[in-house]
C-alpha cells in the first residue's frame, strides 16, 4: 500500500525538472515548491543485560539480589511518507506518516522472569507528525516536529492494529494500539550546512525533544527529554552523485512509562546512542533522487526497574549494537 501510494506521489512530480532539493541539513524550499519522499528501512539490534530478581535498596549483597544473565535481540522494518511545501521564502510546512513492525526476543536465565522474557511483536500505523521549517539564511534553518497521537487502546482499527505475541508461560496479555505512542511530542532542531574557505562542505545540527502528555494507556508517566547533536561531511563524487558521512550522539533522561509487555509501570534509566551514518545521493530523471543509507550505532539501552509480586526487579543493560539499512526516493517540484 505504501509503495503504491508513494509511487503515485512521486510520479506526479515528474512534470517538472528544475526544482531545488532538500539535500542537506538546513536546506529549505522556495515559495510554491513541494517535496515528497518515501523511506523504507530495516534494523537489527543486540544487547546483553543482567536481570536482578531483588533490586530493592535493602538487599545489599549480590547473593540476595540474585543476578541472572539476560540478552535481547530485535529486528524490524519501517516505511514512511513525508510531504513538505514552501509557503513563503522563509517558512515550510508538511507532515509525515508511516507504518512499523517491531519484534524482539528477550532471554533471561531466571525462573522469576517468565512474564518478562519471550518473543514480543507489534505492528501498525505510527503517530502523525506535523513538520515546520523556518529559514535562518540560505543554508540554515530551525526545524520543528509535533507528533500527534493517532492510535487508541480503547478500540483498535485497521490504521492502528497492534499485535502483541505473548509467550505461553506469560501471565499478562497485551493491549492494542498500533505503533502510535499515545502522546504528544515536540522536537526542535537547529540545522545548517556550510562550505569553508578550503571548499570542504560540512553539515550539522543540535536538537531537543519533550513529551507533552503524562498519560499513556491510562497510566501516569513522566515526560522523557531527549537531546543530541550531529556533525557530518558532504563529498561530491561526480555530477549528480554525492555522499555524506555523519556522526550523531543522542541522550535521553530518566523517565517512567507504562510497559505493554510487563503490564505495569517501568522506571527507565538514562539512554544513550552514538551512531555513524553513510548516505549516497544520486539525482536521476530530473526531479528524482535516490538515497540509500547504512547506519551503525552503539546503544546503551536504559535500565528497567519494575515491581512483580511485590518485589523490586530490574534489567541492567550493557552497551549493545544496532544496524539499520534502507533507502529513500524523493522528488522536488
CATH number for the domain spanning 228: value is 2.40.128
Confidence of residue 194 (pLDDT cuts 50, 70, 90): very high
Domain count, the chain: 1
Alpha-carbon distance of 62 to 50, in angstroms, equals: 12
Q: Kindly report the three-state secondary structure assignment for every residue of 102-113.
A: EEEEEEECCHHH
Give residue 5's pLDDT: 41
Alpha-carbon distance of 292 to 288, in angstroms, equals: 13
- Domain span at residue 249 reads 2-332
Alpha-carbon distance of 190 to 136, in angstroms, equals: 9
Q: 187-191 long-range CB contacts below 8 Å, 24 or more apart?
A: 187/144, 187/145, 187/147, 187/226, 188/142, 188/143, 188/144, 188/145, 189/142, 189/143, 189/144, 190/136, 190/140, 190/141, 190/142, 190/143, 191/25, 191/26, 191/140, 191/141, 191/142, 191/143
**Which residue did the predictor score with more confidence, 21 or 298?**
298
The yes-or-no verdict on residue 131 having pLDDT over 60 is yes
Q: pLDDT for 9-39, tens place per residue?
A: 444 433 333 345 789 999 999 999 999 999 9
Give residue 63's pLDDT: 56
Entry pTM: 0.83
The yes-or-no verdict on residue 2 having pLDDT over 60 is no
The yes-or-no verdict on residue 323 having pLDDT over 90 is yes
H helix or E strand, kind and range, residue 62: helix 62-65
**What nine digits make up the cell of 70?**
539476560
Please tell me the least confidently modeled range out of 69-73, 220-224, 268-272: 220-224
Give percent of the chain with pLDDT exceeding 70: 74
Give residue 45's pLDDT: 96
The yes-or-no verdict on residue 216 having pLDDT over 60 is no
Burial of residue 225, with CB atoms counted within 10 A of its CB: 0-12 exposed, 13-18 middle, 19 or more buried: middle
Amino acid at each position: 500500500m505504501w509503495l503504491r501510494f508513494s509511487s503515485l506521489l512521486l510520479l506526479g512530480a515528474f512534470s517538472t525538472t528544475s526544482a531545488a532539493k532538500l539535500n542537506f541539513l538546513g536546506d529549505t524550499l522556495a515559495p510554491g515548491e513541494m517535496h515528497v519522499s518515501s523511506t523504507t528501512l530495516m534494523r537489527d539490534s543486540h544487547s546483553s543485560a543482567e536481570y536482578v530478581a531483588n533490586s530493592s535498596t535493602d538487599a545489599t549483597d549480590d547473593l540476595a539480589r540474585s543476578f541472572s544473565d539476560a540478552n535481547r535481540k530485535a529486528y524490524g522494518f519501517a516505511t514512511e511518507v513525508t510531504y513538505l511545501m514552501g509557503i513563503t521564502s522563509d517558512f515550510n510546512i508538511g507532515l509525515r506518516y508511516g507504518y512499523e513492525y517491531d519484534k524482539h526476543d528477550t532471554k533471561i536465565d531466571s525462573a522469576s522472569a517468565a512474564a518478562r522474557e519471550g518473543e514480543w511483536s507489534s505492528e501498525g500505523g505510527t503517530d502523525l507528525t506535523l513538520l515546520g521549517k523556518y529559514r535562518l539564511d540560505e543554508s540554515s534553518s530551525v526545524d520543528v516536529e509535533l507528533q500527534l497521537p493517532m492510535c487508541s487502546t480503547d478500540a483498535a482499527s485497521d490504521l492502528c492494529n497492534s499485535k502483541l505475541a505473548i509467550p505461553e508461560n506469560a501471565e499478562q496479555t497485551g493491549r492494542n494500539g498500533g505503533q502510535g505512542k499515545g502522546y504528544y511530542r515536540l522536537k526542535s532542531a537547529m540545522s545548517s550546512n556550510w562550505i569553508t574557505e578550503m571548499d570542504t562542505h560540512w553539515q550539522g545540527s543540535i536538537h531537543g525533544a519533550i513529551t507533552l502528555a503524562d498519560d499513556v494507556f491510562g497510566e501516569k508517566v513522566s515526560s522523557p527529554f531527549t537531546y543530541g547533536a550531529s556533525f557530518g561531511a558532504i563529498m561530491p563524487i561526480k555530477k549528480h552523485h554525492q555522499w555524506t558521512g555523519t556522526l550523531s550522539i543522542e541522550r535521553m533522561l530518566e523517565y517512567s512509562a507504562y510497559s505493554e509487555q510487563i503490564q505495569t509501570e517501568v522506571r527507565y534509566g538514562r539512554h544513550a546512542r552514538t551512531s555513524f551514518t553513510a548516505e549516497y545521493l544520486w539525482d536521476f530523471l530530473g526531479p528524482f533522487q535516490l538515497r540509500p543509507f547504512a547506519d551503525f550505532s552503539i546503544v546503551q539501552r536504559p535500565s528497567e526497574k519494575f515491581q512483580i509480586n511485590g518485589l523490586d526487579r530490574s534489567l541492567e543493560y550493557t552497551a549493545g549494537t544496532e544496524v539499520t539499512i534502507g533507502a529513500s526516493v524523493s522528488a522536488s517540484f
